Structure 1
Amino acid sequence: MLKILMNSGPWGPWGGAGNNQKPNDSKPNNSESPKSEKKSPPPKNPKNDFEDFFKKIFDRIKNFLDSAQSGKSPKSLVGIIILVISLLWLSLGFYQVDTDENAVLLYFGKFYKVTTPGLNYHIPYPFGQVIKKSVTAVNTEEFGFSSSKKKNEDRDFNAESLMLTGDENIVDIEFQVQWQISDIKDFTFSIADPNQTIRKSSESAMREIIARTPIVSALSDGKGKIENETKDLLQAILDSYGAGVRVVLVQLRRVDPPAQVIDAFRDVQTAKADKEKEINEGQAYANDIIPRARGEAAQKKEQAEAYAKEVVTNAQGEAGRFNSVYNQYSKAKKVTRKRLYLETMEKIYQDTDKVFIDKSVAKSGVTPYFPLNEIKQQPKKE
């Protein structure tokens, strides 16, 4: 078809000798100097060539139509049909790349270039082929679960989710990996099945990180560390394949012991938590009672020392008083005895209402007068 179109005239496919020359101008002009013949032609503008291409095609169509109307060429109708078919075929080469896409252009199955968003053109099938991929979309791979009930129904979730920890325990893990295309050329040609490669690499990276992690850390505060280490390891694996993929996120959705032993495991964890609670409560009680006991002991010790000093001081005072009384007693024993007797009797009977009269007063026949009512009303000595 193209061969007929390109050979339809004696001066090339566009009815001229090239460089916009007419048939009558195919011979060189003898008036031109040799110097001008040696000059290199100016560089061609691809845009002008493209415009000239379609201009010559339409001129060719016009010539065919004129020939058909004049009846000069019996083959003009066939040529027009061939030309129209060729134009329709060439028009199939236009393609649109969306703003979120890049495209890979192939000629004869071989990579030619990467095209960016916008209107582009290539030689149509079977010579050229365009593969378009979204480079901004975030793709998600799920492991141990499926958010869609319709797809991946034949997957073995247990095989994906059961993993061995660093302390030889088994955990049941659900996680997801989000990724984007970073290089469409590598993504298209470096790996045969990108999705399966990403899935296998993700599962391998997660298993390797879990194999380094104790079960307690995986079940509690070690999840963030597991996610970051898995993301870095997965990115390194995909880069080694030249996959053209950027790992956006690795997220753990659930980390539990296997369903068969989860109740027993939770009982163990509850017992450990109760043990820690009792230890903490005992430690708190010890921290409270020991300083208090030490304070009370120090207080009692100080009180005992003060009491001892008081008793010693009182004893010393009593001893000094006794010595002074004894010294006075030694000087006048009779008077001192009487005074001590009277003072002692006064202390003994100071709180009584009775009145004692000496026998000598009763024998003398004198009747004593005592204001008994007033004596009874006197306040008692303390």
Structure 2
Amino acid sequence: MKHEFSPLHAASADDLPYSFADLDAAMEAAGLDALVATSKHNVRYLLGGYQFIFFSAMDAIGQSRYLPAFVYVRGHPDQTGYFANKMEIHEHKVAPFWVPEFRPDHWGSVDTMTAVAGYLQKCGIASGRIGFESGFMPKDGFDAIAEALPQASLVDASMALTGLRMIKTKPELDLLREATARISQSMQATILASGEGSSKHQIIERLRQEETKRELAFEYCLLTLGDSHVRAGSDQTWNRGEVLSIDSGGNLHGYIGDICRMGVLGEPDAELIDLLAEVEAVQQAAFACIGPGQTGSAMIAAGEAELKRGPNAKHNDFFAHGMGLISHEAPFLMTNHPVAYEGIDAERLFEPGMVLSVETTLQHPTRGYIKLEDTVIITEGGHELFGSDNRGWIVSQVDAD
């Protein structure tokens, strides 16, 4: 199965999903003179969509690791540099990088950061405030740059970069829309093909194959069967009348689609129809409060108010978070629910281009784990729901006795 879809790949600075003016403004607000990005997702974003395929699955090589570095001096896009692995010279020959300084000379974290420090000195940044990603900088790399630039202040720039990525461009939204559609198709195909006696291991492997043939990079699958809330793979099998909750993320050229859909083995009975309708009512209440000028706190309040009106409120939970290059990125809407961060964007007005994941989970004591998770973007006129199909019960038929 072949899907024609063009990934992001910036041939020039004009093709980037951000502007240098916005990057300069983010750095000025954070008090940064220069930036050294080293996470795969931010290097990919700042380069405009490129990621070296050789290290897409694993960083370790030899006695060190792959550590790409994007270097930017505030107000000087002409000094932008990309410090790459030696093998990336071949990538450059096929599709030249737009950065003025391309340095494919490195194999590990120490030599990369030593070279970055030397380049910053050449650019006149021997002192001042240099932003880096504290969660994505190995200690030996940090020590190398700190030793080479003893007069500089190294400060965490993670939140500045997260804020830069918050508003998605049309090409980014197109990737998220397509990723979500392909995950939805993969889930439907998996549920319909999984019958009585299929184990969790088998169902997850089938989903992986379905996503892979749709040219997604399989990220994860959280799967429940019946009243078991253990979401990992196991030998537990699917039995007639039981529900199946399938929550998966699939990556399309760096952007993650993340939804949850429900299956049932045999036609759903009246109770199951009512339970999913209760979950859907919470989702719809939240959707009604998504649009430009509205806030995450108002959306959350609407979802939680509808949740409390349901007959299974004590078993129900509502959650919302941002999506994009990573799961749980800005806007950050809820505090420590369940991921440990502060909901610093709860009162920020929604803007077109923001992407949300909205999810309601009912952990019913006898019928099981019933959940819907949807990807929603804010548009000029309101919002758009990605992957809006297959949101009811997907029925896998029971074999005739």
Instruction: Specify the TM-score bucket, using the shorter chain as the normaliser.
Output: under 0.3
Compare relative contact order (CA 8 Å, sep 6+) and give the higher one, 1 or 2: 2
TM-score (ref. length: structure 2): 0.19
Scaled by the length of structure 1, what TM-score is found? Answer: 0.19
More strand by share: 2
